[in-house]
Amino acid sequence: MSHASSAAVVKEERSDLREILRLVADDLAHVEGLLHEHVSTGVRLLDMMASYVQDGGGKRIRPALLLLAAGLCGARGERPRWLAAAVEYIHMATLLHDDVIDSAAMRRGRRSANNRWGNAATVLLGDFLYARSMALALTQQNLPILRLLSEATLGMVEGEILEIERRGDGLLSETDYLRIIERKTARFFSACAEIGAILGGVPPAQRRALAAYGLELGICFQIVDDMLDFVGDERILGKPVANDLREGNLTLPAIHLLASGDEEASRKVLQVLKDRGYARVPREEILRLAHKHGSIDAARRQAEARASVARRRLDVFSRSPHRQALQSIPDFVLERVP
Ligand code: FPP
Ligand code: MG
């Protein structure tokens, strides 16, 4: 097949998120039900905070990933749904803790929980949701799945701590950055996809392929998330932007700018890193330099490369609507970048 015609096929196979999720729409509706059902405690403040966080929405990308992977491997029904709810609770818990760590005042277009109720109650709500997620996962009595969830959580904590350890470090390399985001984000994506494989009882090669797919997708997702922080608009994203540099965290565009820009670019990025803010060097100036030196394009190319590796990992499965949906998720992730 010529390059042009294979590109046409790829384009034809692309679908928007609604189309991707059509296959698991019923499951996702059940997952929403489980998520609501299992947070009611009778403790007024806890119930109020939990409803607030749940009503804030979210893309439900991790449960969708788990459900699609399970469907691909022939596992349908109740079991994947309970685990999909468990991974969403874990995700909610990590975001609550992350917003405390980042002192973020906004999440999903509204005041963050920490901004409304303070750090103490927010950390405890995160603890509650995490413990609840374990209770949901335990109902499935599957040790390999519990082990995966535990390892993914350890990875997230390691990633967050690594980020803190390297905060303000202008020498952070691309390899260091990838090490952080693999732990912080990608291992959890990988676990979601692998859980689907475990539920379906597929042979080891297919299980490894789904785990590898999830890992690449997760790396792609975090590169894009970090690009959105770099170039995005707070009103559209519903969360603070330009925050990473302000907090002292280098992400791909800034790492590329430091490595491939001129002396002016390096000086200005390091200044923002040192000042922990844009008082002396405005954000627009950093953006102008990043565009001038091709740093945004370089980050986008990296995300695209990861997306393409992710798609190829699924070649071990025969063609099916579930495989096609999973192969479309990286496109949806990439389309988030303006
Ligand atoms: C978002 O990063 C945060 C993560 C992907 C991981 C957060 C993990 C923890 C806080 C540790 C584990 C927590 C528990 C409950 C065991 P980001 O700040 O780049 O994304 P953002 O822009 O959405 O805030
Ligand atoms: Mg954050």
Give residue 7's pLDDT.
38
Task: Please report, for the chain, the start and end positions of each structural domain, with discontinuous segments joined by +.
Answer: 3-215+316-335
C-beta of residue 257 within 8 angstroms of C-beta of residue 293:
yes
- Return the CATH number of the domain spanning residue range 3-215+316-335: 1.10.600.10
d(CA 170, CA 198): 41
Q: Is 107 helix (H, G, I), strand (E, B) or coil?
A: strand
Does the CB atom of residue 158 touch ligand 1 within 6 A? Answer: no
How much is the pTM?
Answer: 0.93
Q: Report the separation in Å between the CA atom of 156 and the middle of ligand 1, taken as the mean of its atom positions.
A: 7
List the pLDDT tens digit at each of the 338 positions of the chain.
333 333 333 343 344 677 788 999 999 999 999 999 998 899 999 999 999 998 888 889 999 999 999 999 999 999 999 999 999 999 999 999 999 998 999 998 899 999 999 999 999 999 999 999 999 999 999 999 999 999 999 999 999 999 999 999 999 999 999 999 999 999 999 999 999 999 999 999 999 999 999 999 999 999 999 999 999 988 888 887 899 999 999 999 999 999 999 999 999 999 999 999 999 999 999 999 999 999 999 999 999 999 999 999 999 999 999 999 999 999 999 998 87
Does the CB atom of residue 153 touch ligand 1 within 6 A? Answer: yes
Give residue 282's pLDDT.
96
Q: Is 272 helix (H, G, I), strand (E, B) or coil?
A: helix
Q: Which atom of ligand 1 is nearest to the CA of 98?
A: 10
d(CA 189, CA 96): 18
Q: Report the separation in Å between the CA atom of 95 and the middle of ligand 1, taken as the mean of its atom positions.
A: 5
DSSP 278: S
* Sequence-separated (6 or more) residues with CB below 8 Å from residue 55: none
Half-sphere exposure of 203 (CA within 13 A, CB side): 3
Does the CB atom of residue 86 touch ligand 1 within 6 A? Answer: no
Give residue 16's pLDDT.
66
